[in-house]
Amino acid sequence: MPRKPNTEARRAEIVQALQSVMATQGYEKATIQAIAKAAGLAPGLLHYHFKSKQEILVSLVTTLADFGQRRFEQIVGSADDPMQRLSAYLEARLELGEGAAPEVVAAWVMIGAEAVRQAEVREVYQRAIANELDLLADLLAACMQRQQRATGSARELAAGLLALMEGAFLLASAAGAVMPVGYASQAALRYAVLSMETAPPG
C-alpha cells in the first residue's frame, strides 16, 4: 500500500517556494506556475493543498513571523537580564550573520505591500505586527523597571522601534548597497537606550 504524502511538509514546501519567488520577482510575478516550478511540483498539486495564491501568502505571513520568534529564542538562550534580552531581540530581527535570511526580509517587505491591498492579508499581517508590538513592549518595560523608570511609555517606544525595524527591512531590500553595513541593530539599540533614559523615574 503506497504511503500517504506528508501534507504538512508539502504545504511548507509550497510556502517556501512562494517566499523565494516573491523575494526575487515580487508578488505579482509569483504565479502559480512560478511557485510550482520553485517547489518542483506540478501546478495542480498547489491547488490540492491551497485554494489560491492568496491562501499561500497568508500562510507565509505566519511562517515568517514564526521564523523571527525562533531566531530570537535561539539568540537569547537562557538570558534573564532585561537589556540582554532586548539586545537579543534586536539582533534576531536586524543583525546579519548566522541565521540571517535576506530572502525572508525581502518577502516580508512584499507582504507589507500586499497587506495594504488585500484585506485577508492585512488581517494576518496586523496580527503578526500586534504580537511583535506586545513582545517588544514587554522587553522594554522590563528594562525600564530595572532602571527604575516609569513604564508608561513602553508601548509607544515599542511602536517607534517597530517602525524603525520595518523601515530598515525596506531599505535592506531596496537600497542595501548604499546603507552602512550592520547599522540597523546598533541604531535601534541606541534609540531604545536614549528613549528609556528620558523616561521619568518610576
**pLDDT for res 5:** 55
- Mean pLDDT value across residues 111-127: 91
Question: Are 64 and 108 contacting, i.e. CB atoms less than 8 angstroms apart?
Answer: yes
- Mean pLDDT value across residues 73-89: 94
- Report the alpha-carbon distance of residue 7 to residue 13 in Å, rounded: 10
Q: What percent of the chain has pLDDT over 70?
A: 98
**Closest to 172 measured CA to CA, from 61, 23, 16, 22:** 23
- Express each pLDDT in 26-49 by its tens digit: 888 899 999 999 999 999 889 899
**pLDDT for res 4:** 47
**Closest to 154 measured CA to CA, from 176, 168, 139:** 139
Confidence band for 194, pLDDT divided at 50, 70 and 90: very high
- In a 10 Å sphere around its CB, with 0-12 CB exposed, 13-18 middle and 19+ buried, how is residue 9 labelled? exposed
Q: What percent of the chain has pLDDT over 90?
A: 72
- Give the architecture-level CATH label for domain 53-197: Orthogonal Bundle (1.10)
- Mean pLDDT value across residues 90-113: 88
Confidence band for 193, pLDDT divided at 50, 70 and 90: very high
**pLDDT for res 19:** 93
**pLDDT for res 1:** 41
**pLDDT for res 26:** 86
- Mean pLDDT value across residues 107-116: 92
